[in-house]
Chains A and B, each alone.
Chain A
Amino acid sequence: MSSTSLPTITEQRALAYAQKPFAILSFLACSYGIYYLLFKRPEKRKRLYHRLMLAIFICFLPLSIVLFIGTWVSVVCTYLVFGI
């Protein structure tokens, strides 16, 4: 539903919580990817492709944490939230 009005309570809740399970899955996946390339199969890091993949996993790890935390770190009493 397109909207020019402010989000409803349900939409606000969905915006705050819907992404969290996916962020947890991504966090676990990236953690395993890092563990796999750093400790389990370090010999793979001889290839540039695997090093780039390691960089991607490392890059997405903090992103997944940020997406999981979501609105929890927003300033208390924030009236409304906008943006992407």
Chain B
Amino acid sequence: MPTPTPWAVGEKGNTITCDVQGFIFSIFYLAFPFYYASLSIYACKLLLLCTSYVILYVHILISFFSLPNLDVGLRNNFQEQKYVWIEKWIHLGAYALPLALAITALAMDGYSAALGFCRNDIHGSCDIFNDAECHHSHATEKYSAFIFIIGIELLIGTVTIVVLLCTFEKIQRKHDDAIGMTRLLEKARKRRLKEVAWQTGLYLASFWFGYFPKIIDRLIRIFNGSISYNLVIVSDCIFSFQGLIIMVIYFVLQKRSNKEAQVENIIPDAPDSERNDTVTKIRENAARPKRASMRNSIRAFSFRIFGKCMIWICMSMI
């Protein structure tokens, strides 16, 4: 009969509640960073290779040697319909392996109380109630598969950002050499890429912020053979805060992008997918009827020194 201990704080459940908590935690704890990494879809096709984690592990090495060809977003001129098919694979990739691992853990040892909540970190060979030292030794020695997978996902996101920045430089150079309409198109691409790099970078920074203390904690356990409980507490708090951080970033970027849209989209009424990506579309947009407010402002201008032809050219260029 196990003896209740004074430091077993707040425990009121049973094995079923503990299993349910561990099962849910295992699935979403792994799926969450996968979605984070998937945000880089705007720039890279690394995730194209990530239809499953197994394929991911093999291809990540290949990817390093084919970085110049990775930018799906750029190749497709950021036309979303051309790479929207990848979405179903992202959802499948996010939940396939976590679900398999969670079910396996449930079928084998089940879940047990870990620091803060139930997980499958407890070793079946240890007496769960009376052998704390046994669990302690495993906790300090164990290489967590979860941390490994999350590390891979962190790496993907970070490599993506580096690729983006490299591509940005390439576009910048191309922009410097371009003339006329090509220059306009390159300018638009550059602006879009910069925006995407900024967004993805911000999300990744928050991702690193959330997982960095956990990684440090794991490294201390592995290399130092000890647990820093204070670090575990801090890392749990920071990770718990991630939801709010993401929401704040999302809405800040929304606000920023709305402001930019107000400044840039004076004339076009077209949706994003139909914006001036190609010469044909620029001509199509130019042929569209202009907004009443814009027409009025042109009429109100007393000195139309450029005439209608020049106005048409200016609008086409915009």
**A contacts, CB < 8 Å to B:** 1-4, 6-9, 11-20, 22-23, 25-30, 32-33, 47-49, 51-53, 55-57, 59-84
Contact = CB atoms under 8 A, between A and B. Distances in A.
B115 A52 contact: no
B11 A64 contact: no
B42 A49 contact: yes
Given A48-B80, A83-B122, A66 B250 contact: no
A6 B29 CA distance: 26
Contacts of B132: 6, 79-80, 82
B12 A22 contact: no
Interface of B: 2-15, 17-18, 20-21, 24-25, 28-29, 31-32, 35-36, 38-39, 41-42, 80, 83-84, 87, 90-91, 94, 112-119, 121-122, 128-130, 132, 135-136, 138-140, 144, 146-147, 199, 214, 217-218, 220, 224-230, 232-233, 236-244, 246-248, 250, 272
A60 B220 CA distance: 27
Contact of B87 (A51, A67, A71): A51
Contacts of A83: 114-115, 119, 121-122, 139
20 contacts: A7-B229, A9-B7, A12-B7, A12-B9, A16-B9, A22-B237, A27-B243, A30-B246, A33-B250, A60-B243, A63-B28, A66-B28, A70-B117, A71-B11, A72-B11, A74-B10, A74-B13, A75-B15, A81-B114, A82-B132
B87 A74 contact: no
B67 to A, nearest CB: 23
Contact of A82 (B122, B214, B226): B122
A16 B14 CA distance: 17
B43 to A, nearest CB: 12
Given A15-B229, A51-B87, A66-B25, A26 B11 contact: no
A77 B13 CA distance: 10
Contact of A84 (B4, B121, B250): B121
Given A33-B247, A59-B31, A74-B8, 16 more contacts: A9-B6, A15-B236, A19-B239, A29-B243, A60-B246, A64-B243, A70-B116, A71-B116, A75-B11, A76-B12, A78-B11, A78-B112, A82-B121, A83-B115, A83-B139, A84-B217
A4 B115 contact: no
B29 A55 contact: no
B135 A80 contact: yes
Nearest to A8: B7
Given A2-B224, A82-B122, A53 B5 contact: no
Nearest to A64: B243
A82 B115 contact: yes
A77 B2 contact: yes
Contacts of A59: 28, 31-32, 35, 94
B13 A76 contact: yes
A34 B118 CA distance: 27
A67 B117 contact: yes
A3 B121 contact: no
A77 B80 contact: no
B7 A80 contact: yes
A57 to B, nearest CB: 7
A47 B14 contact: no
B122 to A, nearest CB: 7
